[in-house]
Structure 1
């Protein structure tokens, strides 16, 4: 591995040219640096630094037509293709055809408009990174957008500072799952009161618990541990039943939500993949350390989910029945979840 302190933007560009087929994230990992540093090294060479503020950026995306929205964490990647149809500033939510984004704007720090030559194809994207230089969200522009559309977008968002050295801050260490065993009964009582104005996240904050620790403490019937080997079974079950569902994959700055079915399931090595024309999921099944079936009271009845966590207690993905899918969808989803083997 290179000495990260000696990696100037010019040196990073030189290495990238030598390894032109390597993805920017993989190159960054191999060099021990943040991915945003790899992208910033190309400013002036197909990359323009832009305003990453969602209120500035997101209202311009619907005019680009069909896009591919990509969100990832360390263990899963979700990609949804379709037009963005709206942005709601008050809630920092993006509406798309068959998907939704929930944004946390304070993590939208570094933004780039990127042009990359991939064979005969010029690929254009908007890429956003957090204060540590980790990817928050990427939007790949489709063929609906003209050269003039792209140029107008970049000109509207271009920042005055086009320096190639980014002011990055260290990543915050991830706290392990935490809960006070003496709060178990208080947790269960608060859990049963959910469904009105109380939210699950608000309950966790009030009790000072993490999500995974709450599942461990509450136990059945609120949370049931599942075999970590059954992610493939879950995906196959969704496809075999042609059952529309809701999937959430995210990171601290962005959660991307799929609503609809999954058709093509193709495991490859440790990866469980959904490979549909407008929807891709890539999930590292070997990194699922805990898998839980969770039931939470809701305003429209109980919400049943399957939630995957890694060894550090970080959430990988959440699966739900289709929001607003009706009684039949809820029953089929419950039947599928009930069929999954216990841990």
Structure 2
């Protein structure tokens, strides 16, 4: 019996939605689930939930159980993305710290900052692929947008995966998932309403890069607005091509860097060198054995060399943003708290600011 069609403006009934997804996968086998969800007019989590009872299990988000047990899964690929960039790291979850609604994973390979209040849905997947069964844990926010995914790469973690899924199986195993509409992006205040001198003074008084977000909140200023208003001694607007320029140079020199990609629920960090830098169409890619980056270079609307004073000296970053002012990625020289910035990285950022400056950035 055919499922009834959905009403206009509502998600399709799950059985019909799954049929449409399977048909789409057959006609476009290389289409990723996020893109398929966009084509079908639903969230990624809603599309994934149509597999509940087949290849998907909804999980309880009991972080005190879940996060410490991630190490038992062995070697995994951890994936964090936003609308424009995908950041993949391979390694083992170790040194997990849970602090209420926040968590840290502090391993040399898997380095994460997790904002758990944003995690609303969790699923375990067992997907049959040409090369075998792929197991993963996938987590989504209230809108059904992915915040983090973990894919098993070590067959030795299979039993631990199965035990964890059994323990955390949610009582609700419906193929229909209620999600919230995305909140509208808040428009920045007019420049004339910003206390620019106070902002600059607070910026120059920073002691830690982590205090920068608090500074923006204190002066109620959008990040790209602050970068534009701060002045040449603190920021330099550079061309969107700066990402390729930097990656090609650090790949050639072996200089270790830090690459941050995040969303409201997770930030993932690569620390170390990059080796294989390869553009493919609009994508700029890093294709190394332990680290992959896929970033839509054509979506970079503004790029900035940013200088932040700290107790360890000035810390310099390359910051990339989309047309709405949302951050795509941040690049730093390799460093740890208590250590000064590498002079090679600071010199590279100075060279970039001189080579690819943008003279005027419109609000």
Instruction: Mark yes or no: TM-score above 0.5.
Output: yes
Residue 95 (structure 1) shift: 2.3
CA RMSD in angstroms comes to 2.0
Contact 2:11 2:42 in 1 (8 A): no
Residue 228 (structure 1) shift: 1.3
- Of the three residues 238, 241, 245, the one matched with 1:233 is 245
When structure 1 is superposed on structure 2, of 314-323 and 147-156 the one drifting more is 147-156
Distance 1:320 1:198 in 2: 13
Superposed, which structure 2 residues align to 1:148-167 within 5 Å?
Answer: 148-167=159-178
CA 1:295–1:159 in structure 2 vs 1: closer, same or farther (change >3 Å)? same
Residue equivalent to 1:32? 41
Unpaired stretches in structure 2, ≥5 consecutive residues: 1-5, 359-363
Residue equivalent to 1:18? 23
CA deviation digits over 1:40-62, x for unaligned, max 9?
00001010000234333211110
Residue equivalent to 2:361? none
Contact 1:127 1:139 in 2 (8 A): yes
CA 1:193–1:28 in structure 2 vs 1: closer, same or farther (change >3 Å)? same
Residue 327 (structure 1) shift: 7.9
CA 1:6–1:72 in structure 2 vs 1: closer, same or farther (change >3 Å)? closer
- Of the three residues 187, 191, 194, the one matched with 1:176 is 187
Unpaired stretches in structure 1, ≥5 consecutive residues: none
When structure 1 is superposed on structure 2, of 190-199 and 122-131 the one drifting more is 190-199
CA 1:6–1:173 in structure 2 vs 1: closer, same or farther (change >3 Å)? closer
Give the total of aligned pairs. 342
Which segments of structure 1 move beyond 4 Å, counting only runs of 4 or more?
Answer: 325-329
TM-score by length of 2: 0.89
Contact 1:179 1:213 in 2 (8 A): no
CA deviation digits over 1:64-96, x for unaligned, max 9?
110000000011010000011121011511123
Residue 202 (structure 1) shift: 1.2
TM-score by length of 1: 0.95
- Name the SS of the counterpart of 1:255 in structure 2: strand
Distance 1:245 1:86 in 2: 22
Residue equivalent to 2:72? 63
Residue 255 (structure 1) shift: 0.6
Superposed, which structure 2 residues align to 1:1-343 within 5 Å?
Answer: 5=10, 7-20=12-25, 21=29, 22-90=31-99, 91-178=102-189, 180-181=191-192, 182-195=194-207, 199-324=211-336, 330-340=342-352, 341-343=356-358
Distance 2:64 2:313 in 1: 34
CA deviation digits over 1:260-316, x for unaligned, max 9?
110000000111000000100011111111000000011211110000000000000
CA 1:67–1:178 in structure 2 vs 1: closer, same or farther (change >3 Å)? farther
Contact 1:54 1:108 in 2 (8 A): no
Contact 1:223 1:293 in 2 (8 A): yes
Distance 1:197 1:98 in 2: 22
CA 1:108–1:300 in structure 2 vs 1: closer, same or farther (change >3 Å)? same
Contact 1:53 1:108 in 2 (8 A): no
CA 1:178–1:258 in structure 2 vs 1: closer, same or farther (change >3 Å)? farther
Distance 1:193 1:278 in 2: 37
